[in-house]
Structure 1
Amino acid sequence: MAPLHLSLACWDYDRVKALEDGRVRPEGIELNFLNLRNGLNSVEETFFRQLRYQEFDVSELSLSSYVLTLNNEDPPFLALPVFPSRFFRHQSIYVNNKAGITHPSQLAGRRVGTPEFQMTAPVWERGILEEEFGLKYDAPHYFTGNVEPSDVERKEKVPLNLAETVRIQAIPKGKCLAQMLADGEIDALESATAPSTFGKHPDVGRLFPNAMEVEQEYFKRTGIFPIMHVIVVKRTVLKEHPWVARSLTKAFAASLEYAYSAIHERGALRYILPFLQYHVEETQAVMCGGGEDKWWQDGLTPQNRRTLDKFLEYSFNQGLAKKKWQVEELFAPGTLEGFVV
């Protein structure tokens, strides 16, 4: 039988590289791997095209945006338990150093920039600041728009229906959040990417100067390694070919194993990090108790279930998701019945 031809839009992360170069081939599927990385925010192009036009059979997608598609009467996608992007987000909250903000609670009533209110990174950031530091998610005054200069206005990719207590204002055309932070026009920035003014302008710093220590302590205490993106498949594809979900899930698992093999290579440096070995050892010590367990896993492991459940709680509490979804409701049938390469 001829293989099923499917398009996959995804960044060329190390954990999917074997799918891109053909070392891993999903059973019964011929993938057309589309790497749209052509700029700092090219992942946003994938999200926009998939959410607006459902252009790809399979794609990487913002976890938050995916959850919001479930609000639709006829949701267009189902996710696989594959998480190509994860990121601790304490490090991604920036402040104007002259604003006198020394504790997250001081952001109440302040001007806080965020590219989009529904973005996954700010959902995590708002949730953590509320749960861990007492800053109510609707306490700041939010300003949305491009982090960096752009001729294209940035708008929410998914329609929102927020509480009246949430104050959101689009920044004027021609402005960008990175420069507004440096100029003191906003007091803080909750983002995914670092603003270009960070490290270059003396008035731009991190809310948590010791972010790495804070993030490591957060993980040790909560066991949460925040998930940013999922892999989604169009429901129209799965309706006709339900076996695709299982085949793709297994293929992503096999590709992840290649990434682990590469990062543990010691005969020569495979990556341009001279102290990579020590970074790997430190990561294992923090996230695996020094054992051989893998710190980045797909599937519904206990850690992933805890992480997803926390995000779904934040999404609902912040008025984004229409209900508190159960973790299992996110994923395609047949992808949670064991996760074996």
Structure 2
Amino acid sequence: MWKRILEYQITETTLQTKNANHIHGFLKAHGYSSAVIRHLKETGNGICRNGTWAHIHDPLMPGDMLTIQLTEDTSSQNILPVPLPLSIVYEDEDLLVIDKPANMPIHPSQGNYDNTLANACAWYFSQKNEPFTYRCINRLDRDTTGLLILARHMYSASLLSAMVARREIHREYRAVVEGLLPECGTVDAPIGRCEGSTIEREVNVENGEPARTHFKRLAHTTVPGTGKEYSLAALSLETGRTHQIRVHMKHIGHPLPGDFLYNPDYSVIGRQALHSYRLTFRHPITGTKMDFRSPLPDDMVLCHEFREAVSHQ
């Protein structure tokens, strides 16, 4: 069994928080979802006040010590542990930051039963003899490389998911795009499904969902032997639509090379040239500022200018 114990010293300030003068109100004020609270109620010593089991509606007084015990004793079902490459950038009791390689799906699916990030994580925690439920917070396409977050338990998953909804987890990407990209700009164009496809997206003014992408050109080159121009771009999103960067860059005439859906040109790279470069957010439990960066993968470094642009950031 795996445990995560959290302790809260109750003060006058605590009690002044809206509806936090009893345990249920306190937990709600601290982002505990109904599902997590139900789990705590069903866990022996899941909720204790001053070392003694407490009812969810018991009052709180200044000086009380509230102890929360989250437990996990089973792992995600139907995820086969497989010894796959797993680059862990950061790990603590509440979350992990992973640097995902190319050609690795996030979740198992038809045809991807034993080659996913979930399989790699299941193997990692099986070697530690720890149960692990797979909770991926920000998803990346199979061939997109770089940083993503996994929640270690249901409470951090609840907090991190709420942070995503409030846009408090900031993501910055790097992409190689065709042509000479303008120095900087914003693409503000709604995105929807292409008719007749469950996967492909397009800019759809009438039926699409709002989507906004900011971009900045970092470097530019002409690749020898191809005669084609390429730009290295920094991109950030105000929204998180499926394939947003890939669709928006194609929309303005600068598609990503190696993109099997939107620009299947593999002359300079064998997969979509997109990388999750930076993640910044507050730690969901401690509030500490977290800032992670991942180096540009070698297959996206098309020239010396690209390498120089990355090294000076």
Identify the TM-score tier after normalising by the shorter chain.
under 0.3
Q: Give the alignment's TM-score, normalised by structure 1.
A: 0.22
Larger relative contact order (CA 8 Å, sep ≥ 6): 1
Q: Give the alignment's TM-score, normalised by structure 2.
A: 0.24
Larger Rg: 2
Bigger proportion of residues as strand = 2
